[in-house]
Amino acid sequence: MHMRFAFQLSENMKRAIRDRINSALGRIDLERYSQEPAYVTALISRLDGVVYDGPDGRVEIKGTIVEDRGAHSAESLWGADFAITAALTVGQHSVEKGILGQAKKKSMHELNLLQDYELRGQCSKMLAATDHCIVLGLPKTKSLALLVRLVGEPLDVPMEFQEYILERFLPCYHGDMRMSFVRAIQDSKLKRLHFKIMSRE
């Protein structure tokens, strides 16, 4: 089991991460990316890359859009439609970690019974692979925030996407650090992903 400790991100690193997130979100026109798959693809592609590489360390983010075509697609098997991994170096410490995610345009309270049942099923499938997965609530207008809910925690307590990345994901409070998992979710087919055999916490 990996030892967990909090990374202290410098102000320079935080500023670079905020700039990347704000730039990514600012470039997504909701009229052109109104459907969940299109929005997620646009977001992930804009976040992807080396976000910071300087005297305070290095942060690289990689995104994967999970294959969703066919009855036996990766999304149908594992419930996720995207994955995010990060490679982080601060001082003498380096770590790679990742999460699975499912995006929804409606808030939890707006889902009908069928949609709620479907989401719960998708979350159960993701949890079969890792304890570290999220539901991404897409904004309906540009003035609204992109929200994150941690699967396994109360789904009615969201946080903004930037807050999640800066306060939970990159500092290592959330994210699966098994190298086999990180490598597996960098393949859109998730063909090397396995059922977890124990909690990573």
pLDDT tens string for the chain (201 positions)? 454 567 889 999 999 999 999 999 988 888 888 788 899 999 999 999 999 999 999 999 999 999 988 778 999 999 999 999 999 999 888 999 999 999 988 666 677 778 788 999 999 999 999 999 999 988 887 778 899 999 987 666 789 999 999 999 999 899 999 999 999 999 999 999 999 865 444
Question: Cα(17)–Cα(61) distance, rounded to whole angstroms?
Answer: 10
Indicate whether 1 belongs to any domain.
Answer: no
Q: Look at residue 131 and tell me if it is in a domain.
A: yes
Whether residue 192 is contained in a domain is answered as: no
AA identity, residue 30: L
Q: What is the pLDDT of residue 176?
A: 95
A 10 A CB-CB count for 115 gives: 13
- The predicted-structure confidence for 147-196, as pLDDT tens digits, reads as follows 999 998 766 678 999 999 999 999 989 999 999 999 999 999 999 999 98
CB 126 within 8 A of CB 119: no
pLDDT computed for residue 123 by the predictor? 94
pLDDT at residue 100, as a whole number: 97
For residue 108, being part of any structural domain is answered with yes
Asked if the structure places residue 197 within a domain, the reply is: no
Q: Say how many Å lie between the first and final Cα of the chain, rounded.
A: 8
The whole-angstrom separation of Cα 93 and Cα 102 is 30
Q: In this structure, is residue 86 part of a structural domain?
A: yes
CA dist., res. 113 & res. 100, Å (int): 24
Q: What is the pLDDT of residue 200?
A: 44
| Tally of domains within the chain | 1
Of 18, 28, 173, residue with least CA distance to 103: 28
Q: Which domain holds residue 114?
A: 11-184
Q: Is residue 200 part of a domain?
A: no
pTM of the model: 0.90
Task: Supply 187's token pair.
Answer: 């393949």
pLDDT at residue 4, as a whole number: 58
198 is a domain residue:
no
